[in-house]
Amino acid sequence: MLVTVDLASALPLFEQLVAGIRAQIIAGELRAGERLPAARELAASLELNVHTVLRAYQVLRDEGFIDLRRGRGAVVAHRAGDYAQLGREIDRVVVEARKLGLTPNALTALIRKAFE
Amino acid sequence: MLVTVDLASALPLFEQLVAGIRAQIIAGELRAGERLPAARELAASLELNVHTVLRAYQVLRDEGFIDLRRGRGAVVAHRAGDYAQLGREIDRVVVEARKLGLTPNALTALIRKAFE
DNA sequence: TACTTGTTCTAGCTGAACTAGATCAAGTAG
DNA sequence: CTACTTGATCTAGTTCAGCTAGAACAAGTA
Q: Which residues contact B58 (CB under 8 A, 6 or more apart)?
A: B68
How does pLDDT run along chain A (116 residues), one tens digit per residue?
789 999 999 999 999 999 999 999 999 999 999 999 999 999 999 999 999 999 999 999 999 999 999 999 999 999 888 899 999 999 999 999 999 999 999 999 999 999 98
Share of residues in chain B with pLDDT > 70 (%): 100
Is B116's pLDDT higher than 90?
A: no
CB neighbour list of residue A44: distance below 8 Å, 6 or more residues apart:
none
Tell me the CA end-to-end span of chain A in Å, nearest whole number: 34
Query: What pLDDT, on the 0 to 100 scale, is given for residue B65?
Result: 97
| Mean of pLDDT values over B17-39 | 96
Test A99 with B81 for CB contact under 8 angstroms.
yes
Question: What are the chain A neighbours of B24 within 8 Å (beta carbons)?
Answer: none
- Provide the pLDDT for residue B37: 97
List the alpha helices (DSSP H) in chain B.
13-26, 39-46, 50-62, 84-99, 104-115
Contact state of A90 with B91 under an 8 Å Cβ cutoff: no
Q: How far is CA A95 from CA A6, A99, B52, in A?
A: 26, 6, 32
How close is the nearest chain B Cα to the Cα of A47, in Å?
A: 23
Q: pLDDT digit string (tens) for B47-91?
A: 999 999 999 999 999 999 999 999 999 999 998 788 999 999 999
Please provide the DSSP assignment of chain A as one string. Answer: ------TTSSS-HHHHHHHHHHHHHHTTSS-TTPBPPPHHHHHHHHT--HHHHHHHHHHHHHTTSEEEETTTEEEEPP--S--HHHHHHHHHHHHHHHHTT--HHHHHHHHHHHH-
Which pLDDT score, from 0 to 100, does residue B17 have?
A: 98
Contact B22, B61 (CB under 8 A): no
Q: Would you state the pLDDT for residue B2?
A: 82
Instruction: Name every residue whose Cβ is closer than 8 Å to that of residue B63 and which is 6 or more positions away in sequence.
Output: A102, A103, A105, A106, B22
Supply the pLDDT for residue B71. Answer: 95
Q: Which residues of A fall within a CB distance of 8 Å from B106?
A: 22, 63
pLDDT at res. A104: 97
Tell me which amino acid residue B60 is. Answer: L
**Under an 8 A CB cutoff, do A19 and B92 touch?**
no
CATH 1.10.10.10, domain A13-76, yes or no: yes
- Of A41-50, A77-86, B6-15, B100-109, where does mean pLDDT reach its minimum? A77-86
Q: How far apart are CA B13 and CA B19, in angstroms?
A: 10
- Determine if strand D comes within 7 Å of the CB of B8: no
Query: Beta strand pairing status for A73-76 and A66-69?
Result: antiparallel
Segments making up each domain of chain A, as ranges? 13-76, 84-115
* B5 is near strand D: CB distance < 7 Å: no
Average pLDDT of chain B is 95
**C-alpha B116, offset from chain centre:** 21
Angstrom distance (rounded) from CA A3 to CA B69: 45
